[in-house]
Amino acid sequence: MKVFYPFHLLAAFVVTIGLACSLGGGSQELVPGGKGIGPGLFNDVRGLGVNPSTGAFFAADYHDARVQAFDPSGKFITQWLAGAGDNSVIITGMSADSNGNVFIATGGKVLRYDPTGNLTATLAVPNAYINHVVAGPDGNLVAMADKETLLRMSVDGKVLGTVKKSFTANGGDTELDVLVAEDSAGDIYGLGTFNNAVFKFSPDGKFIKRFGSEGDSSGQFSAPESIAVDNQGRVYVGDFKGIQVFDSDGKYLSLIQIHGIARYIVFDNQNNMYVTTNNNQVLKMSVPKS
């Protein structure tokens, strides 16, 4: 079921404030947000996807199946209910690609929508329960299933590669839910919230290294919830302290402090970073390209 609202019901609300970041500064914009069920308002927003080419983005509440679409300036376009369309599903993962596809992980499957909310495919893998999904730069998907099984898939659901026990087979503890990100070289980063660590894999799924540990010092994690990789290969992990930035080898670079906790992080092709927070906000930050 899709629900449409006239544009005049929502005026884009943008506030620009300073961002202290050793990567070179930038700006933080508050785009539609606040608690509620109306257009541009959220009820526990977590999922986030951005069309990397256009900057149009999509934000989803965690437990009421509501997905909202916005143009690059943050103006509300439309919304729809994922899954059965009756607020009965939980959205565990989300992404979008430059072809206009929106991917929603829910109920162990990945639902593929067009930008207006029309369901175009249901992607399911036999004997696999998919928890998280991300659209990669190569046009394919990376997903995490059955707690720690790493999958590479086409946008039509064809499995291109599988790595089982991606954490426990490489010295990690058992995970309940691993979040994934992919860089432009095809390397995959898995954030293990139980391990308080990031595990890095090659494009073919071979383990490369891990970094991070539990703690409050720089480079350590305290309740990590989100991960993304920018156009320069830098890795961003959101936790209680803010968003920590690492190079591709896991060396700690800096901390970006935000108002709230980063629940989801994505990037567009201009290296703008989009973040959903526990304050029911969507933040957009300009990040230096080098």
pLDDT of residue 277: 93
The one-character DSSP state at 42 is: B
CA gap 99, 114 in Å, rounded: 9
Tell me if residue 283 falls in helix, strand or coil.
strand
- Cα 55 to the center of its chain, rounded Å: 14
CATH number at residue 165: 2.120.10.30
pLDDT tens digits, 105-137: 999 999 999 999 999 999 999 999 999 999 999
pLDDT tens digits, 126-173: 999 999 999 999 999 999 999 899 999 999 999 999 999 999 999 999
Higher pLDDT, 35 or 15: 35
Give one DSSP letter per residue of 98-118, joined into a string: TTS-EEEEETBEEEEE-TTS-
pLDDT tens digits, 270-281: 999 999 999 999
pLDDT tens digits, 252-273: 999 999 989 999 999 999 999 9
CA gap 66, 284 in Å, rounded: 21
Domain count of the chain? 1
pLDDT of residue 6: 30
Determine the structural domain holding residue 251 and report its residue range. 2-286
Residue 133 pairs in a beta bridge with: 143
The one-character DSSP state at 170 is: G
Percent of the chain with pLDDT over 70: 88
Q: Which helix (H) or strand (E) holds 244?
A: strand 242-246
